[in-house]
Structure 1
Amino acid sequence: LWSDARAAGVVDRWMADGTAERAYRRSGNMLFPGAAAPVLVSLQANEPTTLEAAATAGYCKDAIVQRLTGVRATDASDASLPFFDPRARRYDPALLDLYGLSCWAHLLAPVDPSPAPLRPLTAEGAAISGLPPGTPVHAGPFDLCATAIGAGLEHPGDALVIVGTTLGCGVLTDRVETGGVAAGMLLCLPRPDRWLRVMPAMVGTPAVEWLLGLTGIRREEIDGLLERSPPGANGVVCLPLLSPAGERAPFVDPAARGQFVGLSLETSRADLLRALCEGVAYAARHCLEAAGLGGAGRVVLGGGGVRSQGWRQILADVLGRPVLLARQPETGARGAAMAALDAAGVAYDREAWSRPDGVVEPDWAGAARYDAGYAFYRDRLAAAHGNWRGPD
């Protein structure tokens, strides 16, 4: 599970000795505590009998597909991190060796070709699901990839921001690049010549839920309070690094922690809320820039956070460009269905399935304010970085 922080010490060690960066240069994927490699190393050290008893080290959806179809397999999108060669679309023995996990290679499920095939529902799967035996089953891609498909990302440079449990930011690309800052993910899409360069920051909407719990703000008050505080939140700035597991994009630091700057006795609940929403928007801009967003690509917004009219306006203003609203409901589920239709060879109106629900234009008059706010956010982030420390 991505949110499992128990292997943070393994990531710390690999960050310090260069293992993490060497792995990134081969795969385009940076490690974080919940990734499979540190989790397996942690289990090897602390729960060896768990590994010895295991048949597969896989992903949630792959376990479900195995129960439904009897087939032990995964797809290229889920296999992308952390043992994969994204160009050849197969496991890389050199990466397994780098992590010290070659002896556990047999636990990795075989990787399906791209796009992944359909498989018939078994009698056991029919009993579990209530569907007729023989019903075609498609695993579906990694959730970020499915959402990119459902949001209509078609051309290299198109981008996605999912304000959900995490802040999933990704840019569609037609080439594998492993240079630059070692952070984020490079996920294989069903189309063999397309990848999603992803910077998935750890916290999205849970940051707002946390603040609502502290302050007593009700959900129905969010948009009204965002209007009550002006752009810039009366000088309050938030670094929304609130996950106990630290941060994984656009940088990796298990010790990263959040902060509010600029508080005074005059700071209101509205200021705190706006500063937090602006902080998440600044984090999205940082992630998209790190993922390679250029000037020509479309940006599509999705996730529960953009149900807030005020928050999606902040995102458009901070990004400084029009943003499209992903087709609702359930953009990711829509994308998974589209991937299944593609795998089945079924003709359908792809544009209609992924047509945006609307567009949010930025307030161009306030662009300079948010450019300055973003620069200050980056300065505060750099200053805070040296002061983070893990739990004693």
Structure 2
Amino acid sequence: MSHAAPIQRKIIHIDMDAFYASVEQRDFPELRGKPLVVGGSPEGRGGVVATASYEARKFGIHSAMPSKTAQRLCPEVIFVHPRFDVYKAVSRSLHEIFHRYTDIIEPLSLDEAYLDVTEDKLGIGYAMDIAREIKKAVREELNLTASAGVSISKFVAKIASDLDKPDGLTFIGPSRIEAFMEGLAVEKFHGVGKVTAARMKAMGIYKGADLKTYQEADLVRLFGKVGRFYYNIVRGIDNRPVTPYRETKSVSVEDTYQEDLTTKEAMLEEFLLLTAKLQARLKRNGLKGRTLTLKFKFHDFTIITRSRSVDGFIEDEPMIQMLTRQILDKTDLTEKKVRLLGIGVSNFNMPNADEDRENGAGGPIQLKLF
């Protein structure tokens, strides 16, 4: 008895180009062609960059960078406050365009989404043609540009969308995927951060081809559960479906440090930098939660989390900072070397309950990144 071959999916990853900054330059002609940062301010305590225009990126400015650093790199950079209501309205228009072609849409943020166009509504047939039409509609109707990646899996489509920014369109077909992954630098693998990339390079793993020489069991032993993902993805195996709806359980940000943090003062300083970015993500997604969680990963890769819930909602940056100080004061970090910090808000709809939690190695909090 013969079995039909599985349907090969047609996946498009759409990523708007410098979204917030591009909307500001679209709406205010005097900002066009100038180095622009949305979010943060070099005044007072400052903040962090939410989005930088391509003109600003030429100076090395990027998202999550402290505003004071951005100004130091480019003294003439222009800072503007984010207009999240406008960005949300543009995002709704963007999704109206998507829905002309498919209803299987997985949003990752206001400006980024996966589309499964295997059965496209207009019967166009070719995913590249659909991507071209979407890009054209975005340009003509929204006066913005988007980059698109097209492939048979989410992982490869996402990488493809990054290859020719801005206004790019890249197709990586089934016959090219393994060779493409073999030639990809490890730091380009989504999910491989700076510290993991440095660790891989110290082991002689510079590209996918180097990663491919390791057995699955070895990668799991070296990197934990994510090692199984590395083993599969370097072989082009990614069967995750495009999921039209995902309930947001938490919103968080985290950072890994080149040098371990050993004092609470240093940790608090880093948490305050992360707070601004967390608040921006909450605001742009219209979310208010009741529980704040701090995450600590130590030098030996063990992880603990500490949480605090409040009556009402965690609504603003000062409140996040206050709770962060309270949690940090109560956390025993004696003789601990911290290599990663994370901060997140959850419990958006559930009843309030005060809590303190601790997870050992292998049990990190579920963090949803946008």
Q: TM-score, normalised by structure 1?
A: 0.23
Asked which structure has the greater RCO (Cα within 8 Å, sep 6+), the reply is 1
Q: TM-score, normalised by structure 2?
A: 0.23
- Bigger helix fraction: 1
